[in-house]
Structure formats: structure tokens, C-alpha cells
A and B are shown apart, each in its own frame.
Chain A
């Protein structure tokens, strides 16, 4: 089974600054998708960004971008111009293709605090 590791249980960033959350994964597959999910105190899981493994170009969604290093099996999330609303738990997730059930494998999460 695939494993996803988030080595930073907690991170903090000053408002308007940039922060990078780390994620590594272990897989023998060549094709897959990677995702970052945000979970604010409301508990709702919100998709932040996704990356197709066959694409070399890093995904970007407004202030959120990823640094995808396929050979290193690394998938970090960069949040630029951090805002108070970015405070949340962030989960990195791996989804293989094809896979019976197409299930996700999640990391243990990084709790991000934004300091005013």
C-alpha cells in the first residue's frame, strides 16, 4: 500500500508571509494524482490543489502552488501572502490510477497557524 508522510505536525507563519508544507510519499506506480486538502475548524474538507504525476509543470491555484519532485517523491505546498483564513489542518493525499476503489491515502496532517 502507498504511504504518505507529513513530517511537520505543526507550522506557523506570519500574516502576509510565505510558508511551505512538506509531503513525501512512497509508491511503485508511475501514474497517480496528488492532492492537498484543507480542513478548517469547521471540519469540512476542502480541496486546495491537485497535481497529475505525468505533468512536469507544477500546479498553481491563486496563492497556492506545489513543488512536485517526482523522482524524490516529494509534493510540498507553498502558501504565499498568508491570510488568517488559511489557518487550518492541511492533508496531503495520494490517489493511484487505476486502482480498485480509487481510494486515497492521506498523510497525518500539518496544523497551520497564521499569526496576525
Chain B
């Protein structure tokens, strides 16, 4: 059972370039999330999805777009990367019931130069 898989694990982008981060889960979780982790700021929610075909904004959505065309996949896109988007990105998934914690991916370290 793979859990939550994020690709790629590392990426360096030039300012203005675009890219898509892929998150895939094989646990049939309804909910999926994208967070960014920055030093001294913990994890901040970018976007989330409560089911296939649905997405919603989190705390820091500007500059990002998401899509969830299939239940098992949640894509995070950067249309025009900026140095402020240099961060570690985590995908997480969970069942709809609150009692369960998240299952996290291993993270993507993105550097925008």
C-alpha cells in the first residue's frame, strides 16, 4: 500500500515558469489537501478538495491552482512561478470523519530562482 505519493520530490524553476505537482493516494480518501511549509511558519493550507470534481481555497491560495478530476489524484499548479513560492509542498489526504489524522506525502522541495 503506497499511501500518498508526491511527484516530483525536488524541482528548481526559473521565475515565470510553470509546473504541476502531482499527488496520488490509493486509500480511497475523500479529502485531499495541499500545504506549504516555510521556516517558522508551520504548515499553511493552499487548497483542498472534499471530493472528486470539487476544490476550495485555503489560507494562502494566491498564485496556485488545483484540480481533482479523479478521486485519487490532486494536482497543484503554478502558472507563473515567483521566488516567494520557494517552499516545501506537502500533499495530505484523509477520510471524511474527523477522528482520523492526515496521511502525508513525503513532500516536494521547490526552489524558484
A residues at B contact (CB < 8 Å): 1, 4, 9, 32-33, 35, 37, 42-45, 47, 50, 52, 91, 93, 95-104, 106-109
Contacts and interface: CB of A to CB of B under 8 A. Distances in A.
B72 interface: no
A109 B58 contact: no
Contacts of B43: 91, 104, 106
- Dominant secondary structure at the B interface: strand
Given A45-B90, A91-B42, A102 B96 contact: yes
B48 interface: yes
Nearest to A42: B106
Interface of B: 31, 33, 35, 40-45, 48, 50, 56, 58-59, 88, 90, 92, 94, 96, 98-99, 101-102, 104, 106-107
Contacts of B56: 100-101
B101 A50 contact: yes
Contacts of B104: 44-45
Contacts of B96: 102
B109 to A, nearest CB: 8
A106 B42 contact: yes
A101 B90 CA distance: 17
B102 A45 contact: yes
Contact of B50 (A52, A95, A100, A108): A100
